[in-house]
Structure 1
Amino acid sequence: MTAAVTVGHGHGHSHGQGHSQAPVAPPEVMAYLNGEPVPRELLDDRLAVLRAGDAACVLPRPDSREGRQLTRWVAQVVLTEQLCLDELHRHTNAEPETPPGPQDVAPAEPPAAPRDVELETSAGPQEIAPGASVGSRDGADAGAIDVSTAIAVGSITAAALAGSEAVRRVAGLVTADVRIAAEQLAYAADVLGEEPPADPGVPVAGWHRELLLSARLEAFARWLNAAMHERVQLVRGLEHPGDSSQPDNLHRH
Structure 2
Amino acid sequence: MTEHAAVVRGRTVPKRRVDALLAAVPARDRESTRPEALARAERQRRRWATQVVVIDELAKRACVERGLEPPDEVAPDRVLAVAETDVADLGSIVAAALAHSDAARLLLAELEREQVVAEADVQDYYDRNRDRFLTTDALRRGVEPFGGVSSEDFLTYGQVREGVARELRRAAGRRAFFGWLDQSKAGVVYAVGHEHPGDPAHPDHEHRH
Same fold (TM over 0.5): yes
2:107 match: 170
Q: For 2:52 and 2:62, how far apart are their aligned partners in 1?
A: 15
Q: Which of 155, 166, 189 is matched with 1:209 structurally?
A: 166
Aligned residues of 1:243 and 1:249 also touching (Cα < 8 A): yes
Residue 229 (str. 1) matches residue 186 (str. 2): yes
TM-score (norm 1): 0.61
Q: Which of 5, 9, 13 is matched with 1:34 structurally?
A: 9
Residue 157 (str. 1) matches residue 90 (str. 2): no
Q: For 1:142 and 1:149, how far apart are their aligned partners in 2?
A: 13
Identity of aligned residues (%): 28
Deviation beyond 4 Å, 4+ runs, structure 1:
59-63
CA RMSD of aligned residues (A): 2.9
- SS of the aligned residue for 1:58 comes to coil
Give the counterpart letter for 1:210 in structure 2. Answer: E
Q: Name the stretch that deviates more: 173-182 or 154-163.
A: 173-182
2:195 match: 239
Q: For 1:197 and 1:222, how far apart are their aligned partners in 2?
A: 32
Q: For 2:80 and 2:95, how far apart are their aligned partners in 1?
A: 13
TM-score (norm 2): 0.72
1:5 match: none
Measured after TM superposition, the shift of residue 75 of structure 1 is 0.6
Q: Name the stretch that deviates more: 171-180 or 65-74.
A: 171-180
Q: For 1:241 and 1:196, how far apart are their aligned partners in 2?
A: 46
Provide closer, same or farther for how the CA distance between residues 211 and 197 of structure 1 changes in structure 2, counting only shifts above 3 A. farther
Provide closer, same or farther for how the CA distance between residues 234 and 172 of structure 1 changes in structure 2, counting only shifts above 3 A. same
Aligned residues of 1:174 and 1:220 also touching (Cα < 8 A): yes
Q: Which has the higher contact order (CA 8 A, sep 6+)?
A: 1
- SS of the aligned residue for 2:80 comes to coil
2:29 match: 58
Task: Answer 1 or 2: which has greater helix percent.
Answer: 2
Measured after TM superposition, the shift of residue 69 of structure 1 is 0.4
Alignment of 1:114-133 (within 5 A): none
Structure 2: give runs of 5+ residues left out of the alignment.
131-153
Measured after TM superposition, the shift of residue 184 of structure 1 is 2.4
Task: Answer 1 or 2: which has greater strand percent.
Answer: 1
Structure 1: give runs of 5+ residues left out of the alignment.
1-25, 93-98, 108-135
Aligned residues of 2:24 and 2:79 also touching (Cα < 8 A): no
Q: For 1:197 and 1:184, how far apart are their aligned partners in 2?
A: 16
Q: For 1:221 and 1:57, how far apart are their aligned partners in 2?
A: 26
Aligned residues of 1:73 and 1:156 also touching (Cα < 8 A): yes
Provide closer, same or farther for how the CA distance between residues 34 and 246 of structure 1 changes in structure 2, counting only shifts above 3 A. same
Q: For 1:237 and 1:70, how far apart are their aligned partners in 2?
A: 10
Q: How many residues align?
A: 178
Aligned residues of 2:6 and 2:189 also touching (Cα < 8 A): yes
Larger Rg: 2
Give the counterpart letter for 1:153 in structure 2. Answer: L
